[in-house]
């Protein structure tokens, strides 16, 4: 089974993990990734429960002519009490922890939220449900609209990389990028990571402009 993990388009707020809609650029990113994967022969389309993922999937659905299946447990890592705080403010309050995370030295356990282990266990459960649902419906190629840090955590888990290193998997994991996995006999194989060739002609859509 081919699994295309797609990071949601750019959201309308840069506060930590607030459940908001897509920005104007995010809608365009979603359209572009939809056009990109149209030729892949996707048979089922899944999305996390969060609004930015749902809206990204809706754009893709219109292009590939599939319904959006909402999947639990593949949402973003739970930032706990950090939710809704800006990066600038978080760096003021928790600079040492965040710097250690950025350097791959520490797996942050977000206050009243998740750490790498708990996020992976939850996300893995969600992916297993998706795989089982796809198999039951005879689908061999599926797309899953999901989230950046949770995706990094999942990749660390299946590749046996320490969760503290998740921040080193791409300095910029681009919105609406494609990460391809192959699933065979209970194992996941990483085929492609952070592919955003469909965004490269549009510099303003790259994550370096998300401030």
Q: Do 68 and 61 form a contact (C-beta atoms < 8 A)?
A: yes
Distance between CA atoms of 59 and 63, rounded to whole angstroms? 7
Q: Helix or strand or coil: residue 58?
A: helix
Extended beta strands in 93-186, E state: 141-146, 178-184
Domains and CATH numbers, the chain: 2-209 (3.40.50.1240)
Distance between CA atoms of 133 and 17, rounded to whole angstroms? 28
Q: Do 7 and 150 form a contact (C-beta atoms < 8 A)?
A: no
What pLDDT does residue 59 have? Answer: 98
What pLDDT does residue 100 have? Answer: 85
Taking the CA atoms of 102, 25, 51 and 88 in sequence, report the sign of the dihedral they define. positive
Residues of the chain with pLDDT under 70: none
Express each pLDDT in 12-35 by its tens digit.
998 889 999 999 999 999 999 999
What pLDDT does residue 207 have? Answer: 93
């Amino acid at each position: 089974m081919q699994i295309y993990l797609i990071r949601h388009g750019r959201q309308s707020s840069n506060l930590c993990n607030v459940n908001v809609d897509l920005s104007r650029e995010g809608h365009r990113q979603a359209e572009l990734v939809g056009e990109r994967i149209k030729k892949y022969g996707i048979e089922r389309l899944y999305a996390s429960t969060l609004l930015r993922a749902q809206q990204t999937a809706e754009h893709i659905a219109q292009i590939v002519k599939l319904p959006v299946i909402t999947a639990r447990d593949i949402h973003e890592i739970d930032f706990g009490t950090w939710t809704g705080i800006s990066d600038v403010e978080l760096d003021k309050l928790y600079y040492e922890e965040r710097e250690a995370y950025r350097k791959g030295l520490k797996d942050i356990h977000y206050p009243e939220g998740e750490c790498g282990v708990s996020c992976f266990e939850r996300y893995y459960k969600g992916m297993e449900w998706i795989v089982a649902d796809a198999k039951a419906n005879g689908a061999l190629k599926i797309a899953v609209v999901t989230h950046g840090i949770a995706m990094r955590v999942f990749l660390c888990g299946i590749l046996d990389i320490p969760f503290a290193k998740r921040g080193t998997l791409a300095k910029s994991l681009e919105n609406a990028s494609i990460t391809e996995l192959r699933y065979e006999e209970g194992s996941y194989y990483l085929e492609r990571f952070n592919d955003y060739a469909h965004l490269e002609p549009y510099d303003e859509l790259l994550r370096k402009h998300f401030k």
